[in-house]
Structure formats: structure tokens, C-alpha cells
Amino acid sequence: MKQLLQCFSARLSGRLESEQAVFREGIDRLVYLLTSTAIFSWFRSRAFLSSWLFVVLLMSMQSVQAILTIEVTQGNDKAVRVAVSPFSWNGKKILPEDMASVVEENLRLSGLFAPLPRKDMLSFPSSAKDVVYRDWDILGASYLVTGQVKQEGNRFEVNYQLFDIVRQKSILKGKVRGDESQLRGLAHHISDAVYEKITGIPGDFSTRIMYVTADRKSAEHTDYRLNYADADGQRQREILRSREPILSPSWSPDGSRVAYVSFESGRPAIFVQELATGERQKITDFKGLNSSPVFSPDGRQLALVLSKGENPDVYVMDLATNELSQITSHFSIDTEPDWMPDGKSLIFTSNRGGSAQIYQVGVNRLSNGTVVAEGKPKRLTFTGKFNARAKVFPDGKSLALVHKGQGATEFNIAILDLDTGRLRQLTSARLEDSPSVSPGGRRLIYAVSGGKNGELGIVTADGRVKYRLPSAKGDVREPVWGPSIATQR
Amino acid sequence: MRFANFVKATALSAIALWLAGCASTGGQSTSDVEATPEYATEEVVIETFPALDPAVQAVIDSGEIQASPEEIERLLAHKTYHFGFDSSKLKESDYKALDVQAIYLNSSEGRGKKVIIQGHTDERGTRTYNLALGERRANAVKHYLVSKSVSPSRIEVISFGFEKPLDPAHNSAAWAKNRRAHIVIN
């Protein structure tokens, strides 16, 4: 709470002037997003005519289902009380999406907020003139969010406002527009704006997650699917379907492309696929491993793992020239690379010291396009018997990883502080894998297995709030958090 | 076991053929007999009658191993090799089976065949690390076969990590079953 207030006052003093600008920029982004959606539909119709492959990929993309649900397993009892009043609405039918509850759920799952139950509210204000501060104060709410939805033809316009109950004033006002299918997206945008206004940290609600589902029908038949969905598990879309394994998906920094490993030919190969068109390119299918592709921060290179029939080593491929540079060269296992945010070094898992641990190696891109390792790899983890699949936080100051302690039997998600070397275990299920950090660094998504079905788990980076996104059917695994949709180009 | 069945089947076929011979001398027209596919099939069995499974025969013919045909057949059928946790070290109990695979692959019968070695792990650890570990296991088998003069160019290694468990349960018995390398010869 104290931290929040500090954040807030820091924002007030330092960023007041820029607020209007930030707000306008947000709207511009949204307008951009809506236009790019139009372009997406255009591509879709084109692709439909041009190739059957795209037909398969895209028809499945149209099937919008909610397969993941949310189960909160641990809440935060020190959360800030916020009230989200049901949005008013001028339409005749019921509002297709309860936007206020989407906002409410987002704020709750961020771990910092405890939304006031709707049944406790004394009134449902939708604009400033209806707000009775005293009532909200009595109910213990520190903030109030209101919204008005208007429909004209197929277009919906939402005016929203955030009130500071203690200071008895409106502190944020905004307007977003979209069609019916975008109402959830608009609610996520409002959640981001509210979250950022109160905490000073950009929200991560207008983001997507990607994951693999595996539906095992028999020992010989498993249906694998690569999907993406909103960060709350809703609006799922399919990227690829196969009878053979799909692994280690990764987002391009702008969210327009994904890379993954597919065994569809019976052997592993790395692909890069354009989400809007479904068009894809095979990047590598060398003998042996083709594994763990991950885009560089500038999106121009792909770090990946090849064994070419011998030892697994980390390589970098230039996506424009397809030139391959070998980064590590060791007889042990080197795998699971990730980029530091500045693109100047890679971290990876290696068992060169006898057990799986995380190492870091500098990389330098020469003028001729090849990438070379700089210096010897440096070991980063020293606690525990097994540390693997590390992902760098956006600020480059810590790593999320899979950790097994000395004498422990569980594999859990932990955060390593790179300055102090301290390792902090976040979760405690039996088998956890594949941590991925949200763009703002506030939350982590990971895979939980060892029970009946594999599930996705989300935990706030402070460890306070945990929830699960189980799949309605089969296993769900290999989650990866995508970039903010608003930054898509 | 299978060898015994084979002897039985061959004996039965011989009797069938003998009976067929009786039938044809018993006044029926030869064209009728020829048109009956049953008899034609039985004849083929007799013509290709081998003393033993060709793979078993090839291993015996190599003279590199002293064992009964049944034992060789059992060793040839032993194509899945299990490993300890986080280990890619072959168990000594698997050496003999691998020796027999190598003898077969180097024999005139097996020389033209290709080998795919699949590597698998249990579910613990990370999926991507396990892909690498599965490859280590498959490579351990490959290196053993290569040390027994099987050309590496005939061998392909594919790791599935823990994507294809034999037993999807989450307990140590299932884990032990799933930590394996498996060879496919064709």
C-alpha cells in the first residue's frame, strides 16, 4: 500500500504534464490497433483464396473458444480496494460483454487490487455527477472506476473515468472505440490505463499468451495444438494443429510472428509463422536437435539450439540472410537460450559443470552479419541441483527459471536476482516448467504438471497472488507471454 | 517360442500340401486345383521355407556369438534400453542385446538396413532440456553401435524428450519406463 502511494505521488509530481500526452498516445495506439485488425481481415480473405494450407491454418484461427478458465489459488490480503461500477449502456439488448467485470477481474488478478463486490455497492454511478464519495469511502474503496457504453450502428464507444475517493476527484478520463468483437480488448485497455494511473507501472492486460495443448487420445494418438489467447485465457485462436509434438513457442518482439518447433515430419524443425496470414517458413531442420528458438530484442535474429547430430549448442540465425553463427561449443548440453534486453548477451542452460545451471555469454554482431561469442560463458546460478529454462525479466535485472533445490524432488519456478545472486522460490507444485515473464515484469506464467492434466499457472512476481488456467480438454503447457498488443506495428 | 510355432506351422503346411496332392490324384481336374488360392499360398510357404528367421540365421552365420536361436531371437527383439535419472549411461545388461543388433546390422542380411534411434526421458526437468537429454541417450546407443563397426551414416538419432511417454502416469515406475532409447531398424 505504502509502495503504491509512493508510486502514485512520484507520478503526480513527475509526470503530471505528460499525462494528457500519454493518454492521447494510448488512443492513437488503439486506433492503430483497430486499423491493423482491418488489415488482418483483408489478409485473411486473400490467404483464403491463395493456398489451402492457409485455409487450414486460418479457418481454425476463426474458431474463437474459451477453453481456459481461471481458478485463484492464492489471493492478496493487503490489496488496494477498488470499485468498478457496472458500465451504463444505451442499448436495448444486454451488453454483449460485461466490461466492468473484465476490468474488475484484471485488477484482481494483478495481485495489487481487491475489487469491491458488486453486491456491496450502494449505487452504480456511470459518470462524475453520480459519484457520492462518502458512500465509497464508507465501503472502504480507495478508487472507483466508472464507464458509459454507447452503441451507434456496429460501433461501440466507451467513456471511462477513474476517481480517487480519498482526494474526492477524478484522476483519469478516457474514451475507447471498437466493434462488438473488440469489447473485451477495450476492457483490457481500460484496465491497463487504470492500473498505470494508480501504480505508475504500465499494465499487462492488453497482452496475449501462447501455449501448446496436447489431447492424448491413445498411446499412438495425441492431438497437439499451438494456440494464443488474451492474457486472461479468453478468445483462444489456433496457430497450428498436428499429430506430432509442438514445442518451445516464442513471440517476435512486435507480436506479429511466432517461432516454434514442430515434429510434424517425424523429426524436429524450427518454423517462423506470420500470425496474420498463417504464412510460415521452415528455418532449420538439421539432423539432431532443432530446438528452443527465441527472437532477439530487435526481432532480426533467432537464437536456437542445434546438435547437427552431435552436441547441443546455441546458435544465432540472422533472419534476413539465414546466416547461422555458432555461439557455444562444448561437449555438454547447451540449450534454452534467451536474450538479455540489450541484445548483447545470451543466457542458456548448460550441464558443463555436472548439473544443469544457467550461464551467460556475450555476443557481438560483426559488420559482415556474423555473430560471435565474446569471452567465456559465465555461470549465473549456484544454488540447487538443477536450474534451467531461464527467461530474462524486461529490465534485465533478474531471471525467472525452473529450480530444483538440493535434496528436493520438486521442480519449481524461482526468480534469481542477478545483482545479489539470491534465488527466491515462487511456487511449490510438484512439477513446473516453462516460466515466461509478462511485458511489464509484474507477472509470470508457467506450466504445471504431475497432476491429472497439465495446467498453466500465473503468479505475481512478488509471489502474492497465484492462479491457474486449466484447460477444458487435455494438457496445456509451454506458455509464453506475448508483448503488449498496443505496441504491435 | 516363435521358432517353435514356426516349426508347427510348417509341419501343418506340409500336411496340407500332401492332402492337396491326394485330392488332385483323386480324379479332380488340375485346373480346379490351380484355381484354388489356398493351395497356391501353401505352396509358396513350402518354397520359401527357411530354417530360421533370416535375422536370427544371419546372426548365427556370422559366427560371432555362441547362443541358441531362441536366445538370439530374444536379444534381437530387445530394442528398448532404459536409463537412470538424468543419466545417459547404458546399462551393462543391455550390452549383449546391442552386440546382437550390431552383428545383425553388419551381416549380409542387415547390411542394407537403416537405423533410427529414438531418445526419451521422464517428465521431470524442463521439456527443452529433456530434448537434449533424450538425444544423449540415443547417442549413447549410437556410439555403442558405431564402436561395433556399424557405420554412423546409417544411423539417425531423434530425441522426443518426454513428448512420447510409454506410461503417462506421474510416479517413479512410469518414470523408469519412460527413460529410454529405442531402436527401429528398417
B86 plus B135 within the same structural domain: yes
B60 plus B42 within the same structural domain: no
Average pLDDT of the residues in A227-241: 93
Does residue A58 have a pLDDT over 60?
Answer: no
Whole-angstrom Cα distance, residue A396 to residue A348?
Answer: 14
Instruction: Beginning with the edge strand found earlier in the chain, give each strand of the sheet holding A246-251 in spatial order.
Output: A246-251, A257-262, A269-274, A280-284
Q: Are A227 and A473 in contact (CB under 8 A)?
A: no
B173 plus B103 within the same structural domain: yes
If you count residue pairs, one on A and one on B, with CB atoms under 8 Å apart, how many are there? 86
The domains found in chain A, sorted by start residue, are 2-199 (3.40.50.10070), 207-487 (2.120.10.30)
pLDDT at res. B47: 53
Query: pLDDT tens across A463-477, in order?
Result: 888 989 888 788 999
Does residue A29 have a pLDDT over 50?
Answer: no
pLDDT at res. A278: 95
Average pLDDT of the residues in A184-202: 94
CA-nearest residue to A358 within chain B is B129
Average pLDDT of the residues in A32-42: 42
B153 plus B177 within the same structural domain: yes
pLDDT at res. B11: 52
B104 plus B141 within the same structural domain: yes
pLDDT level of residue A356 (50, 70, 90 thresholds): very high
Question: How far is A431 from chain B, CA to nearest CA, in Å?
Answer: 7
Of A10-14, A297-301, A483-487, B97-101, where does mean pLDDT reach its minimum? A10-14
Chain B residues touching residue A402 (CB < 8 angstroms): 125-126
A288, A388, A431 ranked by CB distance to B135: nearest: A288
Find the DSSP H helices in chain B. Answer: 2-25, 30-35, 37-47, 54-62, 69-77, 95-106, 127-147, 172-178
B124, B156, B159 ranked by CB distance to A411: nearest: B124
Q: Which residues make beta-bridge pairs with A146?
A: A161
Does residue A351 have a pLDDT over 50?
Answer: yes
pLDDT level of residue A95 (50, 70, 90 thresholds): confident
Residue A185 belongs to what H/E stretch?
A: helix A183-199
pLDDT level of residue A13 (50, 70, 90 thresholds): very low
A217 touches chain B (CB under 8 A): no
B155 plus B103 within the same structural domain: yes
B30 plus B75 within the same structural domain: no
Average pLDDT of the residues in A46-57: 39
**Comparing A220 with A379, which gets the higher pLDDT?**
A379
In sign, the C-alpha dihedral spanning A402, A403, A404, A409 is negative
SS3 B180: strand
Q: Are the Cβ atoms of A248 and B128 closer than 8 angstroms?
A: yes
B127, B131, B161 ranked by CB distance to A434: nearest: B127
Average pLDDT of the residues in A144-170: 95
Does residue A302 have a pLDDT over 60?
Answer: yes
Of A10-19, A130-139, A475-484, B126-135, where does mean pLDDT reach its minimum? A10-19
B174 plus B134 within the same structural domain: yes
B95 plus B26 within the same structural domain: no
Q: Are the Cβ atoms of B132 and A216 closer than 8 angstroms?
A: no
pLDDT at res. B49: 56
SS3 A176: strand
Q: Are A442 and A106 in contact (CB under 8 A)?
A: no
pLDDT at res. A188: 96
pLDDT at res. A61: 44
Q: What angle separates helix B37-47 from helix B2-25, to the nearest 10 degrees?
A: 130
Residue closest to A141 by CA, chosen among A163, A109, A119: A163
Whole-angstrom Cα distance, residue A431 to residue A413?
Answer: 9
Q: Give exposure, B139-178, as e/b (b: 16+ Cβ within 10 Å).
A: bbbbebbbebebeeebbbbbbbbbbbbeeeebeeebbebb
B146 touches chain A (CB under 8 A): no
Whole-angstrom Cα distance, residue A89 to residue A151?
Answer: 8
Does residue A5 have a pLDDT over 50?
Answer: no
Whole-angstrom Cα distance, residue A293 to residue A139?
Answer: 50
Which domain covers residue B70, as residue numbers?
54-185
The amino acid occupying position B148 is K
Whole-angstrom Cα distance, residue A481 to residue B3?
Answer: 58
A216, A288, A333 ranked by CB distance to B168: nearest: A216
**Comparing A225 with A33, which gets the higher pLDDT?**
A225
pLDDT at res. A93: 81
Cα A431 to Cα A75, A316, A447, B6, B149, distances in angstroms: 22, 30, 8, 49, 41
B133 touches chain A (CB under 8 A): yes
Q: Are the Cβ atoms of B131 and A247 closer than 8 angstroms?
A: yes
pLDDT at res. A489: 31
B130 plus B155 within the same structural domain: yes
Does residue B5 have a pLDDT over 50?
Answer: yes
B170 touches chain A (CB under 8 A): yes
Chain B residues touching residue A216 (CB < 8 angstroms): 168
pLDDT level of residue A26 (50, 70, 90 thresholds): very low
pLDDT at res. A39: 44
pLDDT level of residue A33 (50, 70, 90 thresholds): very low
Whole-angstrom Cα distance, residue A27 to residue B121?
Answer: 50
The residue with cell 486472461 is: A232
B116 plus B81 within the same structural domain: yes
Query: pLDDT tens across A75-94, in order?
Result: 666 789 999 999 999 888 88
Q: Which of the listed ranges A8-17, A21-30, A196-205, B27-36 does the model predict with the highest average pLDDT?
A: A196-205
Q: What string of DSSP letters covers A347-359?
A: EEEE-TTSS-EEE
Does residue A237 have a pLDDT over 50?
Answer: yes
Whole-angstrom Cα distance, residue B72 to residue B54?
Answer: 12
Residue closest to A293 by CA, chosen among A281, A283, A307: A283
Average pLDDT of the residues in A157-173: 96
pLDDT level of residue A110 (50, 70, 90 thresholds): confident
Residue closest to B120 by CA, chosen among B168, B185, B74: B168
Of A289-303, A406-420, B11-25, where does mean pLDDT reach its minimum? B11-25
* Average pLDDT taken over every residue of chain B: 82
pLDDT at res. A451: 82
Chain A residues touching residue B131 (CB < 8 angstroms): 247, 268, 289, 291, 335
pLDDT at res. B50: 58
Does residue A48 have a pLDDT over 50?
Answer: no
Residue A159 CB-half CA count within 13 A: 10
Q: How far apart are the first and last CA of chain B?
A: 23
The number of folded domains in chain B is: 2
Chain A residues touching residue B160 (CB < 8 angstroms): 245, 263
Whole-angstrom Cα distance, residue B50 to residue B48?
Answer: 6
CATH of the domain at B98: 3.30.1330.60
Q: Report the percentage of chain A scoring pLDDT > 70.
A: 84
pLDDT level of residue A118 (50, 70, 90 thresholds): very high
B20 plus B86 within the same structural domain: no
Contacts of B4 (CB under 8 A, 6+ apart): none
Question: How far is A399 from chain B, CA to nearest CA, in Å?
Answer: 16
Q: Can you tell me the ipTM of this complex?
A: 0.81
Q: Are the Cβ atoms of A433 and B126 closer than 8 angstroms?
A: yes
Confidence (pTM)? 0.81
Of A251-255, B44-48, B179-183, where does mean pLDDT reach its minimum? B44-48
